[in-house]
Amino acid sequence: MKHLVKYIFLLAAMLFGCSRADNETKAQTMKIYITIDGQTRAVTLADNTATQALVECLREGTISYEAHDYGGFEKVGALGRSLPTADRQTTTRPGDVVLYSGNQIVIFYGTNSWSYTPIGTIDGATVEELKDFLKAGRGNITVTLSLNTPTAVHAVQAETQNSGKRYAPNGMQASGNPKGIVIESGKKILK
């Protein structure tokens, strides 16, 4: 009997361990990231075929699209591909991200009632922060979707000669006379 209890305990521990590992893996894939003008926000995804298809697309690389204001409560843009839909009548809240017509992503900074496929919700942002992030009412924006948060330059190593090259904070070489923070001769400079 003692061995049976020990065996059951070990079996339960193995099952719990596998379940926990599966849940951790699933949790890691349950977020995507939206970047607009160098600012990034995490999106907790809904669990449906549309989000699964979106994640598969993002495994191949980032997706960028242009979005515009619509109705004074959302930014909408064509994704450049179609995803499976599971539309349902929804009253959105600020921060909701939905699929419209199978090929458009809508990000809300207000509310609306319509038939959408849920994609997810932007994590932890107030209405004012969302409006600022989405540049609400200020024209078109470029939205980049990714599976990972963008990285920044953490260390700068100076070149041995002053080559005159300038770099953006993301590590890409800047051309022309860029404005903002640039890295030149190993130093961060505000232009």
Statement: residue 21 has pLDDT above 60: no
Residues 104-130: pLDDT tens digits? 999 999 999 999 999 999 999 999 999
- Is residue 13 pLDDT above 60, yes or no? no
Confidence band, pLDDT 50/70/90 cuts, at residue 183:
confident
pLDDT at res. 25: 38
Q: Kindly tell me if the per-residue pLDDT of 5 is higher than 80.
A: no
Does 27 have pLDDT greater than 60?
no
What H or E segment, with its residue span, contains residue 117? strand 113-122
Res 56 pLDDT > 50 = yes
**Where does the pLDDT of residue 170 fall: very low under 50, low under 70, confident under 90, or very high at 90 and above?**
low
Confidence of residue 1 (pLDDT cuts 50, 70, 90): low
CA distance linking residue 186 with residue 191, whole number of Å: 15
Query: Using an 8 Å Cβ cutoff, are 168 and 174 in contact?
Result: yes
How far is residue 143's CA from residue 77's CA, in Å, rounded to a whole number?
A: 9
Contact between 181 and 77 under an 8 Å Cβ cutoff? The reply is no
Two tokens, residue 77: 């843009």
Taking 70 as the threshold, does the pLDDT of residue 171 lie above it? no
Q: Which residues are CB-neighbours of 90 under 8 A, at least 6 positions away? A: 96, 98, 113, 114, 115, 116, 118
185 phi-psi bin (left φ>0, alpha ψ -120 to 50, beta other)? left
